[in-house]
Amino acid sequence: MKIVFTKGSAKHDLMEVFQASGAPQRVECPKQGIIPHDMVHFAVESTLQARGFLGRVRDGETAGFRMAAEAESDGVERLVEVIQGDAWSGGQTPATELLAMYQVTCAARQCPMLALDEAAVDAVRACMTDLSARWAGLPVGGRLELVL
């Protein structure tokens, strides 16, 4: 599945999802000062080979803001929240502390955690660093194409 992010000029960026069958799906992504939320999903899902929002879209679900609960996908969403929060504050939180925050977040939302270690967190962060640099280098209207 091809995913294209287009940098917007106002309050939103755009994500388009292209699959072999059907018309592309479009999702407006509110700007948040870092890469778009769904690009954080790409970093987590592609690095960990985990099925979250983008994996569910790839498997045929509609790209919407509300999806039915699903254990692995819910665990991915909680991790995306933790990684995104860390990125907002500079991305320097030690991996052990991020894992502890992930555990607390999953417990609060009553969803199972993904099996992760510090190396997995470091790998996701490396992907985030790459995506962030590529995204920052784009002008308004610029596009970043990814494949999941």
What's the pLDDT score for residue 64? 76
**Which one, of 7, 42, 11, 5, lies nearest residue 24 by Cα?**
5
- With a cut of 70, which residues of the chain have pLDDT below it? none
pLDDT for res 21: 77
What integer pLDDT is reported at residue 67 of this predicted model? Answer: 80
User: Global pTM?
Assistant: 0.95
Name the pairing type of β-strands 25-30 and 2-6: unpaired
Backbone φ and ψ of 9, nearest 5°: -100, -15
Is residue 125 within 8 A of residue 91, CB to CB? The reply is yes
pLDDT recorded at residue 20: 80
Neighbouring CB atoms inside 10 A of 80's CB total: 21
What does the pLDDT read at residue 78? 97
pLDDT (0 to 100) of residue 89 = 93
pLDDT for the residue numbered 99 = 98
